[in-house]
Amino acid sequence: MSKVKKIMIFGMPGSGKSTVSAVLDNHSLIYNSPHADKILPIFYDKSIMKAVDEMAHKFLSKKLEKNNILHISNYFGKSKFSINSINFLNLIYSYCDYSRTESYANCGWWPVPQYSGDQFALNFNFNFDKYHSLIKERIFSDDVKSPEEVWDIFYVTFFEVYTNKKFNYEKSISIVAPNSIEGMKFVLDNFKDTKVIFLNRDFKGLMLTSSLRRMGGWFDNSINTSIEDNIKLLIKCGYAKRLLDDMEEVNILKNKYKGQLLTLDLNDLVDKYDDNIISIANFLDIDIENSLYYASYFGYRYNNKNYDPISKIGDNADEYFDDKIHAILDSFMEKGFQYKKANLYSELRKNIGYKFLSGIYR
């Protein structure tokens, strides 16, 4: 398979990754994925890699034909690992959006984000059986495949089946990537012909977004808590410190990967939109088209008069935080926060349940 040009949109949780994705969605030289990537962690997340290796060695059947075996070069020192087709498909059902694509194909529609307008869903005429068959045909072969080659096969095949046309290699695949600095470094080091856009945001805005998500009922016992309670808990559990540490690391990486990595600040993107669009277009080597001046999802243009992500940030800290919360966060940023790991999980279980850490930074 030819080399595929890729645009990976990384960033902090709540930093505006979906906004940039919505801006790129209708550009003539971009295939924009309607869902965030779930495949990358298979190749860089050590816990998942360990599970894959254990699965491969435990279940790999020597009786299977060679074309039912997938060999993938390993990020962690080994030359390759092998896994049979059944277990690999079980793996991607567990960690990727493969099963969701199958469900939407069976229904014939693809849900539209609630905030984008009054459209509930889009027609999704997608031959999942063909998609599944082509992936197996393309991915299971004798040659050792790199993680990038495996990734390319999934998304090239998706857009070929969706458009019912041969993939246009002049175009780039754009996708929202996982909230992971480790994942971003993996892509920058191992994926060729890939441009990475990293979205950042002011620290207080990030903390507000995480608090509002919890108050929306995403996590156990979250609905009845206040913004102040959530802010204190995000500090106490170490989440706030992790945000600041990641911000510092990104500042180092943007100097190391000049030309590959473009960093954007959500506040600056909204306040100086025209300037930032020029920066994005120059970085991606694409023309400035009219589609870059409105938000869309899977080709559907947002029509929500109360929500325009490129002209206003929906959750502004000054509109939600009182003087006390500002003082708490100012103090944290100034002095840091020393917390004891011994008290971390007991505090989480007591206040919000075990889902907090795994969900809040996903």
- 262/137: higher pLDDT: 262
The alpha carbon dihedral of 287, 290, 294, 297 has a sign of negative
Q: How many CA atoms lie within 13 A of 176 on its CB side?
A: 22
The alpha carbon dihedral of 270, 272, 274, 280 has a sign of negative
11: phi then psi, degrees, rounded to nearest 5: 165, 175
* CATH number for region 5-39+96-360: 3.40.50
* Predicted confidence (pLDDT) per residue in 80-106, tens digit: 555 556 666 666 666 667 778 888 999
How many angstroms separate the CA atoms of 102 and 106, rounded? 6
Contact 355, 220 (CB under 8 A): yes
Domain assignments of the chain as residue spans, ordered by start? 5-39+96-360
pLDDT value at residue 217: 45
**In the predicted structure, residue 165 carries a pLDDT above the cut 90:** yes
CA 20 to chain CA mean position, Å = 12
* Predicted confidence (pLDDT) per residue in 26-44, tens digit: 999 999 999 899 888 877 8
DSSP string for residues in 240-276: HHHHHHHHHHHHHHHHHTTTTEEEEEHHHHHHTHHHH
Contact 188, 23 (CB under 8 A): no
Mean pLDDT of the chain: 80
What percent of the residues of the chain are helix, what percent strand, and what percent coil, each to the nearest 5? 55, 15, 35
Beta strands 261-265 and 194-200 are parallel
**In the predicted structure, residue 360 carries a pLDDT above the cut 50:** no
Tokens 């800290």 belong to residue: 317
Band of residue 276 on the pLDDT scale cut at 50, 70, 90 = very high
